[in-house]
């Protein structure tokens, strides 16, 4: 069944901003789909609100729209572009939901757009619990036993079938309130009674508990000829009860015998057929009772997913790419396997290695929430590691995470170990290790944790080997070799050798371990991921290291550049850096170099074997990178695109003689070093906020006294403002310093004078050592003190609000700094403007805003930078003047607050956002409205606005309130703010604060009487009732703005919303318009 | 200290590893299997007689061994090679460790060596003879012994694995009487026939065509089995006599023997197909099946009489012949293993087709 010729133009809906549960894996899948369809001659219309994606690069699709992913906007795109088909399955849940809405609203039929891949019925059956359950029962597959009850009696009847413990979920309650697990009949009756009362329709679901069961996933593909293949099996290390996104997972499944695996395979095939996913990939999850082998279906995703991205990387089988081809009519046997070239895609990959995925969390950014793992996903990123054994892959995965600290070794209270085994946290492996060190039995640990004894046994072997290694102190080369085969890093081995009781205080360095093993000839080899366990020759150098006999890397003699990626996503270092690394690969490939990517993040485009010429799926540590460099002997290594991860390696690699290209590691270091940079700035006459560094509490107090409060404090060498704070007095400074010194004793703390009420600007530039071209100057809507990553940025800055001389000063300073630092490549400068222009920091590397600026200006900064790094000049590249933008581009952050109960939503110097969106329009208000809509904040067009501001903001509140009133809003305020506004002659209703009485403001929010909240926090401490207001907003989905400047922007935005009809324009059009302007 | 073992190939290369299973010395043709699960089924598949099997998935033994997942009365491999053999197992059906099982069954095995490099060697140079020893750890000496071992081509292994006496395998609600030639039959074939109402009489490979017909079968089954089909001239003669008399279904070696009976030729493949992920296209339906393979020889499709035989299945990886049907007579034959075990069960329908042939006969 060949390619369909009746469709020509296909709409792909992306997944929007990076949020917890939906990250750059959908950029990977969307990009693959886009490339596959375009290369096959289709026209692709792409929509996504996330500018930091590769898929929104204008050269990837025929038409690219960066617009909100709402039915209204997508309908407008459909109206304008008239696609023949819509591919809903590569843009995550967001893409699927929008597509379903468009289908249900009749938009697709109105414009004659066919949904390809999965149709509406299939999506409904897969997503609706009841329909899914019924469908599965029809084909004789088990789902967890359950039933709906409208009375206690009915519930008790169901319990007879379901058994204890039972999970109870009231129907239609918000945020799962009233649900619970009953372990005995008394508890059961209580929860049922409560649940029935809470449910507006007096209905509860009683379901069998499968917590503690083994969890598996299969990635399944089907084509129009009804051929079905299983791409990958995945087994969760963590038992049922931990979201699969938060579980350590292993591929292939390790503890299923063949009949059991085949039962699962048969079930998966039956499911995809029954649900009716016509073509493409689906993810099907199973739970297995470890004591009886009983298998139940948990759910199916009728689309590509996070797991399918993992499965693609784990097997070398590009699921999204193939899914796109299947959607346009090809069958699996008509598509060649890219890796073997000679065999078709209609097969099932076989692995001769083990893959381990480990999530990475950012709980430390949300101290108000407990770091507990459960059924809701909380991790922000993940690493994947490949080894020949589970142990090796686990070891490599753990070092890929880049966690500086392991769990303290001190004797831990057995009760605490117990609790942590029962209730998993991000430290679960550390507690398992402790339990083994304390000689707990495997059976007991398995019973408490639900983790399969096989995994525990393998982990215990690692712990036992640690002890042997410590005792050996490196004297035994056989043991050293064994340790490397078990996945131990040189750094870890150095720690273990130093720990030995008779080590006489000798502290080993990892370099010494490296020397030791080099002497003993213990070096890794590189093997290929080839989909077929070496049965066929592979033509794609997708490599991983292991300690075995034969090396298959076959490095070429070509001129080559290694690009170091950015590792696992985390708040502060995400897709933007992967975008830059991909662009480096694209540009250097075009320039005739062989490109070599090193990264360990399975979600990314950079780890697609198609992106660079060669891919090393490896941890980004000094040890691992050095082994690759020594194998490949590249002409250059790029460290400035992957964020802090490769940057931390710059100096050590440089000192080891590795040719770092672009800005020299010394310059990078100079820019990071406050003292040396301070001297440079002073020499250049560029003002900086007064500052100092401190390594102790005393020093810090001294610095703060001399420069005066408030101060901005942060540890050096961090990204994303980790542990950054604004401090107003000495007491707070002392407690801050105490914890900071503990967290990173080797790094000093930086203390800056905090410029209250200053405006901040971000500048992205490229430089070739002789010339600096400024890509864009972005104005932050929020005032100083809010992390740039959490600020809403506007390009270009509002010149009516800024002395043009200041703008010129920023340009001048940027050029000066770029030349002085000898920047070759990218640089980012942050300025604060009050009375004059202060430089806050200079980063001679890729910044988070590079993709945004590139999308806005049409000038691919990262690609240009990569070319500068191989010796081209800006002149040669024809980029000699600062690009201009003809429209207003706004970048807005997206926050994960809804996932962290109890966390306050105010913004500060520590970055908390996980992703970003872009809004673009001719006017600022409309661009802001679009950005907010894309970020999930639906601004009301009219209604009631509640305003409560701190004392500092009160004098400035009147114009804001007037703005809202003019737009037709009714004003509501707490007494203090209301009094202020009344004095200005505004009509305001007063409302109780949370503690003043009822109904109070939180009640109003919860009962839908307030459409928008403006609440600026009271200085450093947020009071209880303010936090209650903001949490009520998060839970209720009411937009809540926490800065006055953002509130002003919202007024403009609402004004635009009231006035303007939706219109859309593609990036290609924007860039063309800009060319016409010139 | 664990015991050491040495693996040598006839090209002189040797790998040192850790011994597991039984001690001793063992020789055979070294082949690899790419199935990620089902090591116990592989071990007990009589088609592996005379062969040392490398498993490509490195973690083996995780779910142990049990009494049910066996394909014959005992393991038939000459030796077993894995990257890592788990000292413990975890599975509700698990009964014994893989190591313990192999010790008990007297199978020499080696672990902790670069199995991928071995596989790549076999891929590029073809299947080779080899030996594993826990006694002779001198590569030169072990290699010399390897060269004395007979080549797979031309060897008759069927006589070593076939049943010594006829036996019956009961059918569930029996409706058909099937006589099966045991060239090294896998039990899951019998289970599948039984499940479909076939009462099966299993005969030794040496049984004559008359012996078969005397049992008045509704259908005749030609089983899988080890080694080269060409030396099995007696079996080919018997099959020739049976063609057209009763519906015949052949699998694997049975398929090759049928091919020879129709005047076709077989040839030794470079390293064969062994695993559970081979795409086979059914030329009648146009559908692709993911199939289980275990063969080192194949039938040359060009050697078959086109007027009589219709080619029904082809391997999409290398275009080798995977099945044929007779155009007029009730003869059905596939090179691969529809009984799976271990591996995907996409092709069980072939047993139904055999039943249909018997119904129509």
With a cut of 80, say whether residue A801 has pLDDT above it.
Answer: no
In terms of average pLDDT, the best of A216-230, A472-486, A939-953 is A216-230
With a cut of 70, say whether residue B231 has pLDDT above it.
Answer: yes
Give, in degrees to the nearest 5, the angle at Cα B6 between B3 and B7. Answer: 140
**For residues A708 and A685, what is the distance between their CA atoms, to the nearest angstrom?**
22
CB contact under 8 A, B288 and A227: yes
For residue B103, the distance in angstroms to the closest alpha carbon of chain A comes to: 20
pLDDT per residue as tens digits for the range B123-163: 999 999 999 999 999 999 999 999 999 998 888 999 999 99
pLDDT score of A1078? 44
pLDDT per residue as tens digits for the range A333-386: 999 999 999 999 999 999 999 999 999 999 988 888 889 998 888 999 999 999
Segment A888-912 mean pLDDT: 88
DSSP 3-state of A335: coil
Segment A851-858 mean pLDDT: 96
CB contact under 8 A, A343 and B316: yes
Q: Which residues are registered as beta bridge partners of A286?
A: A216, A297
Question: In chain A, which residue's Cα lies nearest the Cα of B69?
Answer: A259
pLDDT band at A130 (very low <50, low <70, confident <90, very high): confident
Token digits for A332? 């699996």
Judged on CB neighbours under 10 Å (0-12, 13-18, 19+), A985 is: exposed
Q: Which of residues 441-460 of A touch B (CB under 8 A)?
A: 452-454, 457-458
Q: What separation in angstroms does the CA of A872 have from each of A395, A1040, B343?
A: 41, 48, 55
**Do the beta carbons of residue B288 and residue B319 sit within 8 Å?**
no
pLDDT score of A954? 85
For residue A489, the distance in angstroms to the closest alpha carbon of chain B comes to: 20
For residue A251, the distance in angstroms to the closest alpha carbon of chain B comes to: 11
Segment B253-266 mean pLDDT: 98
Backbone angles phi, psi at B260, to 5 degrees: -65, -40
DSSP states of A161-182: HH-SSEEEEETT-GGGTT-EEE
Q: Which of residues 291-350 of A touch B (CB under 8 A)?
A: 291-293, 331-333, 342-344, 346-350
With a cut of 80, say whether residue A808 has pLDDT above it.
Answer: yes
CB contact under 8 A, A348 and B276: yes
pLDDT score of A502? 60
Question: In chain B, which residue's Cα lies nearest the Cα of A391?
Answer: B59
**Do the beta carbons of residue A58 and residue A1068 sit within 8 Å?**
yes
pLDDT score of A411? 62
Segment A697-715 mean pLDDT: 90
Q: Among A349, A350, A454, whose Cβ lies nearest the Cβ of B62?
A: A454
| Upstream peptide bond of A713 is cis (omega within 30 degrees of 0) | no
With a cut of 50, say whether residue A767 has pLDDT above it.
Answer: yes
CB contact under 8 A, A389 and B83: yes
Pairing of strands A824-833, A837-843: antiparallel
Q: Does A549 touch chain B (CB under 8 A)?
A: yes
In this predicted model, which residue has the larger pLDDT, A1076 or A771?
A771
Q: Which residues of B touch A343 (CB under 8 A)?
A: 279, 316-317
pLDDT band at A1021 (very low <50, low <70, confident <90, very high): very low
Q: Among B87, B117, B340, whose Cβ lies nearest the Cβ of A549?
A: B117
Q: Does B286 touch chain A (CB under 8 A)?
A: yes
For residue B327, the distance in angstroms to the closest alpha carbon of chain A comes to: 26
Question: In chain B, which residue's Cα lies nearest the Cα of A534?
Answer: B120
Question: In chain B, which residue's Cα lies nearest the Cα of A270?
Answer: B346
Half-sphere exposure of A368 (CA within 13 A, CB side): 14
In this predicted model, which residue has the larger pLDDT, A406 or B2?
B2
**For residues A61 and A66, what is the distance between their CA atoms, to the nearest angstrom?**
12
Instruction: Find tokens 């047993």 and name the residue.
Output: B351
**Do the beta carbons of residue B86 and residue B98 sit within 8 Å?**
yes
CB contact under 8 A, A225 and B288: yes
CB contact under 8 A, A347 and B36: no
pLDDT band at A312 (very low <50, low <70, confident <90, very high): very high
DSSP 3-state of B2: coil
pLDDT score of A501? 59
| H helix or E strand, kind and range, residue A183 | none
Tell me how far the alpha carbon of residue A669 is from its chain's centroid. 27
In this predicted model, which residue has the larger pLDDT, B22 or A718?
B22
Segment A110-128 mean pLDDT: 94
With 0.80 as the threshold, say if the pTM is over it: yes
pLDDT per residue as tens digits for the range A920-964: 999 999 999 999 999 998 999 999 999 988 887 888 899 999 999
CB contact under 8 A, A258 and B83: no
Backbone angles phi, psi at A743, to 5 degrees: -70, -40
Active site residues of B: 252, 337, 339
DSSP letter assigned to residue A608? S
Q: Does A419 touch chain B (CB under 8 A)?
A: no
With a cut of 70, say whether residue A1018 has pLDDT above it.
Answer: no
Segment A221-238 mean pLDDT: 97
CB contact under 8 A, A457 and B88: yes
pLDDT score of A908? 86
Segment A969-994 mean pLDDT: 90
CB contact under 8 A, B287 and A227: yes
Q: Does B330 touch chain A (CB under 8 A)?
A: no
Q: Does B45 touch chain A (CB under 8 A)?
A: no
Torsion sign across C-alpha atoms B89, B91, B96, B99? negative
Half-sphere exposure of A257 (CA within 13 A, CB side): 24
Q: Which of residues 103-132 of B touch A (CB under 8 A)?
A: 113-117, 119-120, 123
Spell out a b/e string for B82-94, using b for 16 or more CB atoms within 10 Å of the CB, else e. bbbbbebbbbbbb
pLDDT band at A1023 (very low <50, low <70, confident <90, very high): low
DSSP states of B298-351: EE-GGGS-TTTEEEEEEETTT--EEEEEESSSSEEEESS-TT-SSS--TTTHHH
């Amino acid at each position: 069944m060949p390619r369909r010729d009746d469709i020509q133009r296909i709409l792909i809906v992306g997944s929007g901003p990076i949020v917890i549960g939906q990250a750059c894996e959908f950029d990977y899948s969307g990009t693959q789909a886009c490339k596959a369809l375009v290369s096959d001659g289709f026209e692709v219309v792409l929509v996504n609100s996330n500018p930091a994606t590769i898929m929104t690069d204008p050269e990837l699709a025929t038409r690219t729209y960066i617009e909100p992913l709402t039915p209204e906007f997508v309908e407008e795109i459909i109206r304008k572009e008239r696609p023949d088909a819509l591919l809903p399955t590569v843009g995550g849940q967001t893409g699927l939901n929008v597509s379903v809405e468009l289908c249900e609203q009749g938009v697709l039929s109105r414009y004659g757009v066919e949904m390809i891949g999965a149709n509406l019925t299939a999506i409904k059956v897969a997503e609706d619990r009841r329909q899914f359950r019924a469908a599965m029962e029809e084909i004789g597959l088990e789902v967890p036993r359950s039933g709906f009850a409208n009375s206690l009696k009915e519930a008790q009847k169901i319990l007879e079938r379901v058994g204890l413990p039972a999970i109870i979920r009231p129907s239609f309650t918000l945020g799962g309130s009233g649900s619970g697990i009953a372990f005995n009949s008394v508890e059961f009756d209580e929860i049922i009674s409560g649940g029935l009362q809470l449910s507006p329709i007096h209905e509860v679901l009683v379901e069998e508990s499968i917590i503690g069961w083994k969890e598996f996933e299969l990635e399944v593909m089907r084509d129009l000829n009804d051929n079905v293949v299983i791409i990958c099996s995945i087994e969760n290390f963590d038992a049922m009860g931990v979201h699969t996104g938060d579980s350590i997972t292993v591929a292939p499944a390790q503890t299923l015998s063949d009949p059991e695996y085949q039962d699962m395979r048969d079930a998966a095939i039956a499911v995809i057929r029954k649900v009716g996913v016509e073509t493409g990939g689906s993810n099907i999850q199973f739970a297995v009772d470890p004591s009886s082998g009983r298998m139940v279906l948990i759910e199916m995703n009728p689309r590509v997913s996070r797991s399918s991205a993992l499965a693609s990387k784990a097997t070398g089988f590009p699921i999204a790419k193939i899914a796109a081809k299947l959607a346009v009519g090809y069958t699996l046997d008509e598509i060649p396997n890219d890796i073997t070239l000679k065999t078709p895609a209609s097969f099932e990959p076989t692995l001769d290695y083990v893959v381990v995925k480990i999530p990475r969390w950012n709980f430390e950014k949300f101290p108000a929430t407990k770091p507990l793992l459960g059924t809701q996903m909380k991790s922000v990123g993940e690493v994947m590691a490949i080894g020949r054994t589970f142990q090796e892959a686990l070891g490599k995965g753990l070092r890929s995470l880049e966690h500086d600290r392991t769990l303290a070794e001190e004797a831990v209270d057995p009760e605490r170990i117990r609790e942590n085994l029962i209730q998993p946290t991000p430290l679960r492996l550390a507690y398992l290790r402790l339990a083994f060190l304390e000689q707990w039995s495997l059976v007991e640990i398995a019973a408490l944790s639900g983790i399969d004894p096989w995994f525990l046994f393998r982990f215990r072997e690692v712990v036992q080997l640690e002890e042997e290694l410590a005792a050996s102190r490196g004297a035994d080369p056989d043991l050293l070799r064994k340790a490397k085969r078990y996945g131990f890093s040189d750094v870890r081995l150095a720690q273990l050798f130093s720990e030995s009781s008779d080590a006489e205080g000798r502290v080993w360095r990892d370099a010494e371990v490296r020397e030791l093993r080099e002497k003993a000839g213990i070096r890794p080899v590189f093997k290929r991921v080839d989909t077929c366990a070496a049965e066929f020759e592979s033509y794609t150098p997708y490599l991983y290291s292991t300690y075995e006999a034969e090396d298959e890397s076959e490095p070429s003699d070509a001129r080559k550049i290694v690009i170091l990626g950015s590792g696992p996503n985390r708040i502060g270092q995400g897709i933007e850096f992967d975008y830059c690394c991909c662009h480096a690969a694209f540009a250097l490939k075009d320039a005739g170099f062989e490109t070599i990517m090193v990264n360990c993040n399975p979600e990314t485009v950079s780890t697609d074997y198609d992106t660079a010429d060669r891919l090393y799926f490896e941890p980004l540590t000094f040890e691992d990178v050095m082994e690759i460099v020594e194998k490949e002997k590249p002409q250059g290594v790029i460290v400035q695109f992957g964020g802090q991860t490769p940057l931390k390696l710059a100096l050590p690699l440089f000192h080891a003689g590795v040719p770092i290209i672009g800005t020299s590691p010394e310059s990078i270091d100079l820019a990071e070093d406050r003292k040396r940079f301070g001297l440079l700035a002073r020499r250049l006459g560029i003002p900086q906020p007064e500052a100092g560094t401190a390594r102790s509490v005393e020093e810090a107090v001294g610095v703060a006294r001399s420069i005066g409060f408030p101060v901005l404090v942060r540890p050096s060498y961090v990204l994303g403002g980790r542990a950054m704070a604004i401090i107003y007095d000495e007491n707070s400074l002392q407690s801050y310093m105490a914890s900071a010194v503990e967290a990173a004793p080797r790094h000093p703390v930086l203390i800056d004078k905090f410029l209250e009420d200053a405006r901040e600007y971000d500048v992205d530039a490229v430089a070739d050592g002789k010339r600096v071209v400024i890509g864009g100057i972005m104005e932050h809507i929020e005032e100083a003190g809010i992390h740039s990553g959490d600020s809403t940025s506007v390009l270009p800055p509002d010149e009516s609000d800024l002395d043009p001389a200041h703008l010129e000063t920023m340009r001048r300073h940027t050029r000066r700094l770029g030349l002085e630092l000898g920047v070759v490549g990218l640089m980012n400068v942050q300025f604060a403007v009050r009375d004059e222009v202060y430089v806050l920091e200079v980063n001679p590397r890729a910044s988070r805003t590079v993709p945004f600026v590139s999308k806005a200006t049409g000038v691919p900064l990262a690609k240009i930078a990569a070319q500068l790094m191989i010796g081209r000049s800006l002149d040669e590249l024809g980029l000699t003047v600062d690009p201009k933008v003809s429209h207003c581009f706004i970048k807005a952050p997206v926050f994960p607050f809804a996932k962290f109960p109890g966390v306050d939503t105010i913004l500060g110097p520590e970055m908390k956002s996980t992703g970003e969106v872009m809004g673009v329009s001719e006017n600022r208000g409309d661009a802001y409205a679009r950005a907010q809509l894309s970020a999930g904040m639906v601004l009301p067009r009219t209604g009631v606005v509640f305003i409560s501001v701190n004392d500092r903001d009160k004098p400035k509140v009147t114009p804001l309130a007037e703005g809202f009133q003019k737009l037709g809003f009714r004003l509501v305020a707490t007494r203090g703010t209301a009094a202020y506004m009344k004095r200005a002659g505004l009509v305001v209703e007063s409302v109780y604060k949370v503690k003043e009485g009822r109904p109070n403001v939180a009640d109003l929010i919860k009962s839908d009487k307030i459409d928008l909240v403006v609440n600026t926090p009271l200085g450093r401490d947020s009071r209880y009732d303010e936090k209650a207001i903001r949490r009520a907003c998060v839970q209720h989905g009411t937009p809540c703005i926490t800065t006055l400047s953002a509130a002003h922007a919202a007024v403009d935005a609402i004004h635009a919303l009231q006035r303007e009809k939706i219109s859309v324009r593609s990036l290609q059009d924007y860039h063309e318009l800009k060319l016409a302007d010139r | 200290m664990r015991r050491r073992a040495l693996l040598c190939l006839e090209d002189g290369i040797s790998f040192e590893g850790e011994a597991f299973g039984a001690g001793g010395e063992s020789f055979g043709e070294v082949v690899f299997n790419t199935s990620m699960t089902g090591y116990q089924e592989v071990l007990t598949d009589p088609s592996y007689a005379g062969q040392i099997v490398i498993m490509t998935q490195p973690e083996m033994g995780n779910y142990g061994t049990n009494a049910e997942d066996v394909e014959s009365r005992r393991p038939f491999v000459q030796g077993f090679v894995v990257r890592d053999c788990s000292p413990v197992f975890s599975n509700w059906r698990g009964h014994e460790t893989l190591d313990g099982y192999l010790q008990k069954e007297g199978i020499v095995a080696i672990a902790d060596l670069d199995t991928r490099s071995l596989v790549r060697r076999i891929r590029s140079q073809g299947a080779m003879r080899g030996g594993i020893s826990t006694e002779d750890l001198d590569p030169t000496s072990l290699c010399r012994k390897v060269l004395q071992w007979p080549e797979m081509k031309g060897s008759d292994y069927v006589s070593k694995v076939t049943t010594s006496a006829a036996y019956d395998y009961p059918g569930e609600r029996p409706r058909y009487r099937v006589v099966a030639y045991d060239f090294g039959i896998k039990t899951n074939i019998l289970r599948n026939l039984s499940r479909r109402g076939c009462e099966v009489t299993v005969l030794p490979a040496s049984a004559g065509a008359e012996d078969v017909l005397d049992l008045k079968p509704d259908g005749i089954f030609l089983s899988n089995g080890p080694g080269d089909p060409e030396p099995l001239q007696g079996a080919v003669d018997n099959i020739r006599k049976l063609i057209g008399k009763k519906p015949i279904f052949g699998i694997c070696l049975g398929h090759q023997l049928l091919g020879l009976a129709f005047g076709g030729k077989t040839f030794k493949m470079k390293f064969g197909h062994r695993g559970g992920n081979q795409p086979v296209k059914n030329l009648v339906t146009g559908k692709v099946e993911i199939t289980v393979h275990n063969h080192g020889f194949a039938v040359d499709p060009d050697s078959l009489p086109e007027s009589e035989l219709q080619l029904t299945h082809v391997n999409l990886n290398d275009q080798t012949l995977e099945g044929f049907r007779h155009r007029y007579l009730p003869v059905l034959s596939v090179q691969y293993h529809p009984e799976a075990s271990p591996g995907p069960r996409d092709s069980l329908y072939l047993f139904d087709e055999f039943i249909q042939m018997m119904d129509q006969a």
